[in-house]
Amino acid sequence: MAWNEPGSGKRDPWQGKPQPPDLEALLKRLRDGINRLFRSGGTSLGGGSSGIALIVLALVIGWLALDSWTVIDARQIGVVLRFGQFNRVMTSGLNLKWPAPVERVIRVDATNVRSVSDEVRMLTKDENIVLVDFNVQYQVTDAEKYLFSANQPDETLKQAAESAVRQVIGRSAMDTILSGHGSEVVGETKKLLQQTLDGYGVGLLVTEINFQKILPPPEVKEAFDDANNAGNNQQQFINEAQGYAAKVVPLARGEAARIRAAAEGYKAAQIATATGDAQRFALVDVQYKAAPEVTRKRLYLETMQEVLGGNLKIVDSGNGKNLLYLPLDKLKAGLDAAAATAAAAATADDAQKKAKEGSQ
């Protein structure tokens, strides 16, 4: 966006910062001064001491003018060394400085995310060998510490990361590392590594740690796979048994509840029947005591009616000479069936007549 673009408020990038010298005006003044000196010196320019002094002075002024500022990118931090000793830190933009060799600027990329990777073998808590491939991502937070606290800060971080990984893996079991608790191992490693770097004071911040793969070494991979498969099969069988139990136990409990309810119902029915029979017998006993003959005859008739009510009936009208068998029950059943058939036919005829009348 232009500085004076409409809507930008005519923002000035140098507002609040030291104003840089006007290079064009400075060069113009330098050129005019040299021309005046050459015109006034005449032939003394080639061999006179005054001409040499003026040339030296012009070179010094040009050196001061051209090497008195530097531009720091927005992604960088400028570290200023004055005669080789740290002096200050420059922010992004155009900054003034003393020309070299008085001051020198070292640019450090502070926004770029750096990374280091390594693959190491280590022992777990349960004495298993594991191959760990990890990646560490980090940034520079303090340019002064990054440059002067260690000779090789990136190599220092790599060694500290390996030490932190070994420490965390060494106090964790293989099953814990390979299971869903891997995120906890990564978080603990990141915390330990950052504490180590803060103790060294190298000005680095760990942004991310990734365990790209955690595997047994190739030499023992086959045996490890067999043991892992056995564990998976064991867990599968356990899950199947638990699923079967979860399915069968409720059914068994429901069946037991049904049988218990049926027994309770049967018990209540038998008790009620026995109670009713006892009460009926008590009433019959009272009536029998009042009228024994009548009660005895009534009981006999009721019993015979109950016994013979569902049996086949035969009518004998031949005085013992001829027996005429009349299947009254079958005759009655046939008559009932014929009546039902006739009623159905009549109903069908009525339905057909109504249908014809409706169509006409």
pLDDT tens column, 216-257: 777 777 777 777 778 778 888 899 999 999 989 999 999 999
Cross-strand pairs, 81: 86, 104
CA 288 – CA 341 distance, rounded (Å): 51
> What is the structure's pLDDT at 11?
47
Per residue in 280-334, pLDDT tens? 888 888 888 888 888 888 888 888 887 777 666 665 555 656 555 556 666 667 7
Each residue's pLDDT tens digit, 33-89? 666 655 555 444 444 556 676 666 767 666 666 666 677 776 777 777 877 777 777
Decide: residue 28, CB within 10 A, 0-12 exposed, 13-18 middle, 19+ buried: exposed
φ and ψ of 181, to 5 deg: -85, 10
131 with 214: CB under 8 angstroms? yes
Helix, strand counts (H, E) of the chain: 10, 8
Residue 24: CB partners within 8 Å, gap ≥ 6? none
State how far Cα 192 lies from the chain centre. Answer: 25
Rounded CA separation 293/68 (Å): 147
Most confident of the ranges 4-13, 179-188, 248-257, 291-300: 248-257
The full DSSP string for 233-256 is: HHHHHHHHHHHHHHHHHHHHHHHH
Instruction: State the pTM of this model.
Output: 0.46
Domain ranges of the chain: 23-107, 114-215, 227-305, 312-345
Mean pLDDT on 126-154: 84
* Domain 114-215 part of CATH 3.30.479.30: yes
Cα 216 from Cα 92, distance rounded (Å): 48
CB–CB of 134/163 below 8 Å?
Answer: no
Q: Which helix (H) or strand (E) holds 115?
A: strand 114-123
Taking the C-alpha atoms of residue 287 and residue 66, their distance in angstroms, rounded to an integer, is 142
- Euclidean distance between CA atoms 66 and 23, whole angstroms: 8
